[in-house]
Amino acid sequence: MGRRRHHDAMPFDAGDEAQVNDAQTLANDRRRRYMEDIRFLLGCDEGRRFFKHLFRRTNILSIYPGQNSGIYFHEGVRNAGKMFWVDVCEAEPHEAAKLQVEMTLEEMQDG
């Protein structure tokens, strides 16, 4: 049987300092593991290709002019990509800069 989650045992009481501290510790541990996962992915060719593909598909380096419904859709997709971009920048700022340069150079080569 899997590990019981905090909310499986009892409802969360924001007034209970111990529960608040436990929840914060759990959130911090999850964030730390997530950042470690990003660093791992940036450390291998497959992970770098994945992120470049994600960032290209979500057009994080583009700005859409205008105000029609299609623009709003594209900005929504772009915002989803930007959430990952921010995480990559936080986890490995130097690698994020390298990815940006690589994506720009590859885009220039593709015409």
With bands split at pLDDT 50, 70 and 90, how would you rate the model's confidence at 64? low
Question: Whole-angstrom Cα distance, residue 47 to residue 70?
Answer: 30
- pLDDT at position 88 over 90: yes
Closest-CA residue to 40 (of 29, 51, 28): 51
Lowest mean pLDDT among 4-13, 73-82, 99-108: 4-13
Residue 53 carries which side chain, given as an amino acid letter? H
Residue whose pair of structure tokens reads 């583009």 in the numeric block: 62
**Residue length of the chain:** 111
pLDDT of residue 8: 54
Which SS3 state, helix, strand or coil, does residue 96 take?
A: helix
Residue 17 carries which side chain, given as an amino acid letter? E
Joined together, the tokens standing for residue 53 give: 């593909």
Sorted by where each begins, the domain ranges of the chain are: 15-110
* Inter-CA distances, 56 with 50, 68, 86, 89, Å: 10, 22, 15, 16
pLDDT of residue 1: 43
CB 51 within 8 A of CB 88: yes
Give pLDDT tens digits for 14-57: 888 998 899 999 999 999 999 999 999 999 999 999 999 999 99
* Inter-CA distances, 62 with 25, 92, 93, 111, Å: 37, 22, 20, 16
